[in-house]
Amino acid sequence: AVLHKLERFAIHSLALSSLLSGLSSRTAEEAVINAFMEARKTTPAVLYLPQLELWWENAHTQLRVLLLMLVADLPSNLPILLLATSHASSDELDTRVVGLFGKEVYDLGLPTPSDRRNFFSQLVEDVLHFILRKHDKTKKLECFPELTRVPKKAREPSEAELQAQADSEEHALRCLRMCLRDVCNRILYEKCFSPLHFPVEKDNRDYHSIIKNPMDVSTLLERVDNKQYLTLSAFLQDLELIPVNAKVYHGNDYKGSRIVSKANALRDAAHGM
């Protein structure tokens, strides 16, 4: 019940089961030290030591001395509560461990039959009252008329919000251009893609009579610099024209197969960047 009231505070357990099962500590001593360190970091905090009589009985001498020293080193003004429970009375416990709590030791006796009756009688009355209300079909619920909802008015964005949105969009486009520009420049540095770096000369009437929408890497870079790409998909569509045009122009020609292969490799390299 006390821990339930203190659940909004950080609670660190010093139970033997917690100390021996901790994966982050090699020994019980390290686990105890870690618990005290975490309690200091997360103040106000609670150090909870259940079944104190069993803990003290089964802990070895070094672990007992460590607990006494760590508690003694806690500053008096530090908001840390050391809470322990024991099935044995304070007279049956070791005087050293009882001394940790000073005068703050409370012996609670077992509830009497009268205490149990008073506690459970209220619960029984509440349950019966709930059941009777649920099955009382004669009682009608009072119906209230449904109120008309006030329609929500759409709020116009302020100038500051519009400006912030515009700045955010411009920043996103700027980052996109930087990325696409880097892709184009890296491809331009690759000599193996040199046949695809620049446009086919206009004198090549045969090529331009077949390919109606030519594309190359330098044209892609020029469009990036001119802010023509507002989305990544638009850039990828133009990039796809390079292998498509190579396949259309060269077809199944053996000599042109190398250009088609380089165009496909260029597309894959750009996607990989």
State the sign of the Cα–Cα–Cα–Cα dihedral 223, 227, 228, 234: positive
For 245, residues 6+ apart whose C-beta sits below 8 A from its C-beta are 211, 213, 214, 215, 263
7-25: per-residue pLDDT in tens? Answer: 888 888 888 887 777 555 5
Token pair in block for residue 20: 């021996």
Highest mean pLDDT among 23-32, 68-77, 110-119: 68-77
198-257: per-residue pLDDT in tens? Answer: 998 888 888 888 888 999 999 999 999 999 999 999 999 999 999 999 999 888 777 788
For 86, residues 6+ apart whose C-beta sits below 8 A from its C-beta are 51, 52, 53, 93
Tracing tokens 């006796």 back to the chain, one arrives at 109
pLDDT at 143: 62
129-171: per-residue pLDDT in tens? Answer: 877 776 665 555 556 677 788 787 778 888 888 999 999 999 9
Q: Specify the DSSP class assigned to residue 218.
A: H
Token pair in block for residue 165: 């949105």
Report residue 5 CA to chain centroid gap.
Answer: 28
User: What average pLDDT score do residues 64-91 get?
Assistant: 87
How far is Cα 27 from Cα 225, in angstroms, rounded to an integer?
63
The CA-based angle 59-46-83, given to 5 degrees, is 55
